[in-house]
Chain A
Amino acid sequence: MIRSILTLAVLTLSLQAHANGLLPAGTNDLVADTLSNVAIDPGRAMPTEELHYAWPLDKGIALDVAAAPYQAESREFWADHDADALQRGIRIHTTTPAALVRLSPIGTVRAPLQPADLVIERNGRLLTNSSALVSVARPQDLAEGTAPFPEGSSAFRFDATLGAGEFILRAPTASDRYLVHVYEPASNDVLKLAAATDAHLAGGNLKLKADFQRSGRSVAVDRMAGVLTAPDGRSFELRFTRQRDGSHQASLPTPPAAAMGGPVLWEVHTFSSAGEVLRDAKTAIAVTNPVARLNGQTEQLALRAHGTNVVVRFGIESAVSSRLQLTGTLWGTAASGALVPVATAQTANRVDVGNEGMLELRFMTGVVDPAGVRAPFEIRDLRLLNQADMGLLERRERAWTSAGASIDR
């Protein structure tokens, strides 16, 4: 239906391109300073034709165009131990009763540990598994769940009546290397980890913040280390420095993106200790080669057709030939005078170096008129992507307003 309307409109339109420009980039916007000419192999046959799609948004929908990075909050840690260590006994320090422990064989033998074979020492007393462990899941039990834990994994909780503190876990039958994963969902000892922004452009600056908190207040740590891993296997050591507020920051030049044919994310792993308490946290970020950007030019096409149509072209500057995608949300002026979300439109087309042209967002009458809005219009949450890998090239919270209008926000 949208295509039919579009065709009709195009047949009757009288083009009067009205040039204006992009709004200045905001502090949260993602905009490339320089372009990279490192092309990405899409690993697939991309469409060759220009595609458009638009759809109306519900009246009253609340949109938040501000990008907010994920903040990890870890109440867990993990460590790997060999068979000798487990036979002698490993120390597990907990901060709250009823810690959840998972044991996964990760060596070459992949020999499972049965919880029934474990011995726990607490406050100098030797306890059998039946008196120290609850909610026991044997390897055959975990295998029945949906979560694909490594084969041979088992899990249990320490009995809450044993309290918190140091436990010694012995596995006399251990014959492999094992991952020991300890999770304390009710703990007040939390390692928080976040990147300054979720999406990064290669060649920029990547900043990370880690904060070990106890009951909401930063505490001094004995160790704060980390590693950034790319999906193609590259890894980069993170060096954290303590800040005045007690948190830790790390920064490094953003490395070149990995060619994955899709938006496979990078991971940040952080390892910390404060006294006996261990915490490990991880989060995910995106890294994109900035192969193209908006060049600042825009044109609004005046369509002499029934109903309200808002068609805006955005100029492109590209250092490689690829297929680019542009998505934006149209806001219009309601009877109250307030700007309200109206519709979302997306377009994609091939862009060739030296003849980049423009990408056109089409908000036709079929998606605009139901909202009952009028000019001034504004396009927000504008995103430019490289469909070769869906790398996010540019993201603007506010991108365009209808020419010469004063926008009541």
Chain B
Amino acid sequence: MLNRRRITNHVLGRTTVFRSLMTLFFCLAASTAMANTGVAFVHGTGKQTNALDDYWQSAFVNSVRQGLPNQANYTVINCDFGQYMWDGRAAGCLAGQLTSFINTRGITDLVVITHSNGGNVMRWIMSNPTWDSRYPNIISKIRWVNALAPSSKGTPLADAVMAGNIFEAALGWLLGYQSDAVRMQQVSWMVFYNANYLLGTAGRPALPKGFWSVVGTDVETAIWDPNSYCGGYHLNLGLEITQAWLDSCSDGFLNCSSQNGAGRVWFYDTSRMAGGEPLSHNQSRRACFGLDVILRNDL
């Protein structure tokens, strides 16, 4: 069984080459062993009931799944990731839908594609295999996780959103309720979770399976630039504004230091996207600049 965790070279170029070789090797090994490959799309923060249309969009999902030997072997997860990651409506729901997918389709080789906070929910499952009796079987089927812009170390924007918002028994949330997922992605909270409940960050044991991040480094919005319109011009404009709270390297919602904070970096956007384009936090879940084709070829 191929295991990308064995890769020890973090240098971007070599990692990319190595990953490609591993993918080729895996395809050969998988065909020999008659692996049944499937792909799961795991959304980010928020409650989804139709993530295919509302979160990912069909063009992206349909493009990626073309890389499957059996294109029907895909699932789009719909859970409530407005909850804490361990919640039954979050990780519990994800475990249920992944288990159902694995069992129904007979999946033996699962590639998981996550976006944003979906990476944290997957890391909860992979870091706490004895929390839920469904987890060990899911982990054993995972080939690796491709984490698109994961919020592995939280975001200062969650802190900014919560600024001044203190919970008092008599008054409730002073500024109004924010979702548990937003609260959880405050930087100090994620430091604690990474140190105590989630694996894969520096100095901590690795996750049982590979966790490969795709890092978005910038937001570009110019009204005359057609690239600014991929994923929606106004959505990208909103992300450009929120960059004011972030580092110089960010995708408008997450610092690069959060996106590359767990597992290994697969690639930074500008090194692989068509035209060297950056991926905003909105574009890293869209068929923008060839991202879908890269993910397709990875299956």
Contacts and interface: CB of A to CB of B under 8 A. Distances in A.
Given A142-B241, A150-B175, A283-B188, A269 B84 contact: no
B22 interface: no
Interface stretch (B72-80, B198-206, B288-296): B198-206
B166 A227 contact: yes
A135 interface: yes
A198 B8 contact: no
B249 interface: no
B103 interface: no
Nearest to A63: B203
A392 interface: yes
Interface string B157-189: 111110110111110101110111010001111
Contacts of A344: 199, 205-206
A231 B128 CA distance: 23
Contact of A141 (B205, B238, B252): B238
Contacts of B187: 70
A272 interface: no
A286 B196 contact: yes
A80 B197 CA distance: 35
A233 B239 contact: no
A329 B204 CA distance: 10
Interface stretch (B26-34, B130-138, B265-273): B130-138
B5 interface: yes
Contacts of B205: 57, 61, 63, 329, 341, 344, 381
Interface string A40-84: 000010010101110101111111100110101000101110000
A380 to B, nearest CB: 10
A383 interface: yes
A310 interface: no
A348 B130 CA distance: 6
B13 interface: no
The listed residue with most A CB atoms (<10 A of its CB), out of B5, B139, B206, B239, is B206
Interface stretch (A9-17, A167-175, A260-268): A260-268
A286 B191 CA distance: 12
The listed residue with most B CB atoms (<10 A of its CB), out of A47, A104, A147, A282, is A147
A106 B174 contact: yes
A344 B128 CA distance: 11
B86 interface: yes
Contacts of A52: 130
B241 A104 contact: no
B133 A47 contact: yes
A58 B5 contact: yes
B176 A53 contact: no
B281 A146 contact: yes
Contacts of A262: 84, 86-87
Nearest to B44: A146
Contacts of A181: 160, 163-164
B242 interface: yes
B18 interface: no
A204 B207 CA distance: 32
B167 A233 contact: yes
Contact of B206 (A57, A263, A383): A57
A143 interface: yes
Contacts of B241: 135, 137, 141-142, 145, 155
B131 to A, nearest CB: 6
Contacts of B196: 198-199, 263, 286, 383, 392, 395
B195 A198 contact: yes
B192 A58 contact: no
A3 B139 CA distance: 13
B208 interface: yes
B235 interface: yes
Contact of A144 (B174, B175, B199, B235): B235
Contacts of B170: 233
Interface in B198-236: 199, 202-206, 208, 234-235
A282 B188 CA distance: 8
A347 interface: yes
B164 A284 contact: no
B131 A150 contact: no
A20 interface: no
A58 B155 CA distance: 28
B175 A145 contact: no
B258 interface: no
A155 B161 CA distance: 12
B163 A76 contact: yes
A155 B253 CA distance: 16
Contact of B166 (A58, A269, A285): A269
Given A63-B203, A63-B205, A104-B175, A179 B192 contact: no
B8 A58 contact: yes
B130 A51 contact: yes
A285 B192 contact: yes
Given A148-B161, A234-B169, A262-B84, A67 B238 contact: no
A143 B238 contact: yes
Given A64-B203, A181-B164, A390 B86 contact: yes
A1 B176 contact: no
Given A51-B129, A61-B206, A181-B163, 8 more contacts: A58-B6, A62-B202, A70-B192, A145-B253, A146-B282, A148-B179, A148-B182, A150-B176
23 contacts: A1-B1, A51-B129, A52-B130, A58-B206, A61-B206, A100-B244, A143-B238, A146-B242, A146-B253, A150-B161, A179-B163, A179-B175, A229-B167, A231-B167, A235-B167, A262-B87, A280-B163, A282-B188, A284-B186, A284-B189, A284-B192, A381-B205, A390-B128
Interface of A: 1-3, 44, 47, 49, 51-53, 55, 57-64, 67-68, 70, 72, 76, 78-80, 100, 102, 104, 106, 135, 137, 141-150, 155, 157, 179, 181, 183, 198-199, 227, 229, 231-235, 262-265, 267, 269, 280, 282-286, 325, 329, 341, 344, 346-348, 381, 383, 387, 390, 392, 395
Which 3 pairs across A and B sit closest by C-beta, in order of nearness? A144-B238, A233-B169, A145-B238
